Chains A and B, each alone.
Chain A
Amino acid sequence: MGIKKKSVTILVMTFAVYAALAGSHKGEFWPFSIYPMFSKAGQPWTRTFVRDITKEKRTISGDIQREEELYGKPFSLNEVNVHQNDLSNFMSKNKEWDENKKAVVRNYFKSTLKNKSLLIYKVRGELVNSDAFISYKPFVLLTPDTTMVFND
């Protein structure tokens, strides 16, 4: 087999296996990833974080807050061995919150919900006058016996 034929054959074989396995990765497969976090610069983003509100005295509402108004205290996802990307994407990509979806979220925190109440915030960042403007929206309230979603 000649140099060119051998090279082309091996590249085509590689692409074929690649396409069969990863062709439906929705733009998220290296090296042909669209790199969604970085390709569109300057766009607003939405992530999540969790607050421990076990000792919070105020009534929890779904109103957008500033940083100094946040309920409770920070909660580390390391405590429940959950990866931030997983929780954040689950929150942002879910559009309909049926009982199954709520159960998935509770499952993330099952080891800690026996004696704690948690509040998952949607955190939105956007560029305003060359500065990052961040707003906080209480989104899912998890108490030992209930799950409440504050819809957008």
Chain B
Amino acid sequence: MINFFNRIFEWDKELTEGEKYFFRLIEVILIGQIIYNTWNWAFYIKELTGVILPLGLANYIDITIFFGSNLAILNASIIAGLLFVGFFRKWKHAYLVTLFFFHLEYVARFSQGEISHGTNLAGMILLCIGVSFSFIKNSDHIIKSAFGLMYFFIGLGYVFAACSKLIGTGINWADGDHLILWIAERGTDKLSQNGAFSLNRLQVILLENYWLATITLAFGLLTELTGFLLWFKKTRWIQTTILLSMHIGIVFTLNIYFGDYVYLLILLGYPWDKLINYFIKKYSP
């Protein structure tokens, strides 16, 4: 067990300069995503009038106070301010407190029905970083803790996704017929959103070839099931590459694009710290 934790968190390894800059880069991208989304949501929330799906804190707080007022805009401003406080290391609890306000904005925006997995990941990463800053003193260990938690939860998320399919449907989840039904469902969504929809070439091929649809689903299931390979440095970039190919496949087969999610996955899944170290070495006097 100690070996397992050590492989995820790497407590005993010295942190490189590249890893420190890499962590700052993750913070910048995360802050950008959160500010972009919360401001977009703020103006959407203002136009809402009713709650259909109370999520999280919305079960205990009347979030309709956000509707028809400027409260969501005020909340987005608080979030942006706190993120900058966290980034410039002015208050160690800033990120964790931001999570509370981010969560409020999130439950107000998604009170209408479905949720967003992309911004869920942003929330999860904010949680990992926030907990690390709030509960760990050593500055190098804060970064190691944040990285370890991020990889652990992202890997776990994929494994859970595969398990939910195996529990909900069973091994025949990969039956190609199921893809036919999902393509029709997503086609209806696209038609509704854009006023028009037509099948792309890949969708036509999949609808005509049951065996190919089955292989496509089986590949997706297997890819998610091996999501735990993100936990380990040696297999992380390979698993990230396979996951990215799965997400690209989902874009073309189901017209589902997890933009925010994919950007964070690209950032976290590859050893950018080594590239940074290379440049530091090359250009340092």
Could you tell me if B103 and A21 are in contact, using CB atoms closer than 8 angstroms? yes
CB proximity to A under 8 Å, residues B1-53:
1-2, 5-6, 8-9, 11-12, 44, 47-50, 52-53
Could you tell me if B165 and A35 are in contact, using CB atoms closer than 8 angstroms? yes
Chain B residues whose CB sits within 8 angstroms of the CB of A17 once the complex forms? 96, 99, 127, 130-131
Could you tell me if B169 and A107 are in contact, using CB atoms closer than 8 angstroms? no
Chain A residues whose CB sits within 8 angstroms of the CB of B280 once the complex forms? none
Q: Please measure, in the bound complex, the distance between the C-alpha atom of A40 and the C-alpha atom of B182, giving whole angstroms.
A: 11
Q: Please measure, in the bound complex, the distance between the C-alpha atom of A101 and the C-alpha atom of B50, giving whole angstroms.
A: 8
Task: Type the 1/0 row for B135-152, where 1 means its CB is closer than 8 Å to any CB of A.
Answer: 110000100010011001
- A84-B175 contact, Cβ under 8 Å, with A32-B160, A45-B181, A89-B114: no
Question: Does A94 have its Cβ within 8 Å of any Cβ on chain B?
Answer: yes
Smallest CB–CB gap between B207 and chain A, Å?
9
Which of B132, B154, B158, B191: most chain A CB closer than 10 A? B191
Could you tell me if B188 and A49 are in contact, using CB atoms closer than 8 angstroms? yes
Interface on chain B toward A: helix, strand, loop, or mixed SS? helix
Q: Please measure, in the bound complex, the distance between the C-alpha atom of A30 and the C-alpha atom of B114, giving whole angstroms.
A: 13
> A93's closest neighbor in chain B, by CB?
B52
Could you tell me if A30 and B124 are in contact, using CB atoms closer than 8 angstroms? yes
Partner of A104, one of B6, B49, B165, B193: B49
Q: How many A-B residue pairs have CB under 8 A?
A: 211
- The segment out of B54-62, B81-89, B238-246, B270-278 that lies at the interface is B54-62
Smallest CB–CB gap between A88 and chain B, Å?
7
Partner of B131, one of A10, A34, A75: A10
> A48's closest neighbor in chain B, by CB?
B192
Q: How many residues of B are counted as interface, with CB atoms below 8 angstroms from the partner's CB atoms?
A: 76
Could you tell me if B112 and A14 are in contact, using CB atoms closer than 8 angstroms? no
- A42-B178 contact, Cβ under 8 Å, with A4-B5, A14-B127, A21-B103: yes
Q: How many residues of A are counted as interface, with CB atoms below 8 angstroms from the partner's CB atoms?
A: 67
Partner of A74, one of B47, B120, B157, B195: B195
CB proximity to A under 8 Å, residues B229-260:
none
Given contacts A3-B5, A3-B11, A30-B157, 15 further A-B contacts (CB under 8 A): A3-B6, A10-B131, A11-B149, A17-B99, A21-B56, A26-B55, A35-B164, A41-B175, A45-B185, A76-B196, A78-B193, A79-B195, A90-B112, A107-B48, A132-B184
Which positions in A face B, CB cutoff 8 Å?
A: 3-4, 6-11, 13-14, 17-18, 21-26, 28-35, 37-42, 45, 47-50, 74-79, 81, 83-90, 93-94, 100-101, 103-104, 107, 123, 125-127, 130-132, 134
Can you show 17 pairs from A to B with CB atoms below 8 A apart? A6-B136, A6-B145, A10-B136, A14-B153, A31-B156, A32-B157, A33-B120, A34-B168, A35-B164, A40-B169, A41-B181, A47-B189, A86-B113, A87-B192, A89-B112, A89-B113, A130-B180
Which positions in B face A, CB cutoff 8 Å?
A: 1-2, 5-6, 8-9, 11-12, 44, 47-50, 52-53, 55-57, 59, 96, 99-100, 103, 112-115, 117, 120-121, 124, 127-128, 130-132, 134-136, 141, 145, 148-149, 152-154, 156-158, 160-161, 164-165, 167-169, 172-173, 175, 177-178, 180-185, 188-189, 191-196, 210
